[in-house]
Amino acid sequence: MTIDLRGARTFIEANARVLDQRVARCLFDGDDPATVADAVTAYRNADGGFGHGLEPDKRAPGSQPLDVEIAFEALAAVGAPALDLVASACDYLDTVADADGAVPIAFPEIADHPHAVHWNEIPLEPALNPTASILAYALALGTEHRWVTRATEWCFRTLEQDGPPDEVHALRCVAWFLDAAPDRDRAQALGPSVGAALPGANLYQAEPDPDEYGVGPLEFAPTPASLARAWFDDAQIERHLDHLEHEQRPDGGWPIAWEPPSDASRCDWRGMVTIHALRTLRAYGRLPD
């Protein structure tokens, strides 16, 4: 199989939002990462957080922790110099976190705005999802902040005392956190127990299934250097890479496997997912020269 890189880039230009177009140009054309920081700023609120559908499955304008995660992910992907943006967002997280630093994935007001139906079933209490994944990107950006310090300790303590979560999305957040955590000995010690929890997690997809939504190995190990790469054998990774290549659509983009709240949300997501697919395939040497 051969990736149609030109088709993927055309798809991004035709369908993705400005933020993701800029991420793609930074990743694949060497554009200035500051352009991504400029685009992220459009989603920023006065409280320092991010909203306005930055995470496309909910269109609430107010700040939400998950939207902060998406902002940090974009900045970290390109190494954008955005210390003020990140520090202000951490100030926001500090105000909405519980006493230990944990934050909820979102707040109930998302129900007052267009949102995907699965949001009606997602718990909204402070948890490892998204605290651990927000931290992963904040740490990747080199952030020093009181929220980062206390939330990092909470994540480590929770995993050490309670064991890994039993939900696949939370496990993915934890895997990303362990990749970025500054205490490498502590992170490495937790890796085997988190990996061992995967087979029993609902929606974990050990083998590719094009007909069902699931979270597979490449979500945990998006690069060969990921801590989670040791959890999967070479043949399993190769099968998922083959599947990821095969998933490119005739329009050049990659599909999503859930129902978003609108056509605009679908375009937003497909732009993001297409960039994620290209990044993963490049990391594993699957993109054409």
Q: 32 by DSSP, 3-state: which? A: coil
Mean pLDDT of the chain: 97
CA angle 68, 113, 58 (to 5 degrees): 40
Q: Return the axis-axis angle of helices 5-15 and 18-29, rounded to nearest 10°.
A: 150
pLDDT per residue as tens digits for the range 62-89: 999 999 999 999 999 999 988 999 999 9
Q: Which residues make beta-bridge pairs with 58?
A: 115
In a domain, 289, yes or no: no
Residue 144 pLDDT exceeds 90: yes
In a domain, 157, yes or no: yes
In a domain, 62, yes or no: yes
In a domain, 288, yes or no: no
Residue 115's φ and ψ, nearest 5 degrees, are -155, 155
In a domain, 129, yes or no: yes
For 191, what's the count of Cα atoms within 13 Å in the CB-facing half-sphere?
Answer: 21
In a domain, 241, yes or no: yes
Whole-number Å distance between alpha carbons of 216 and 205: 5
Whole-number Å distance between alpha carbons of 66 and 55: 7
Our count of domains for the chain comes to 1
pLDDT per residue as tens digits for the range 94-126: 999 999 999 999 999 999 999 999 999 999 999
Domain span at residue 232 reads 5-283
Model confidence at 2, pLDDT cuts 50, 70, 90, reads confident
CATH code of residue 26: 1.50.10.20
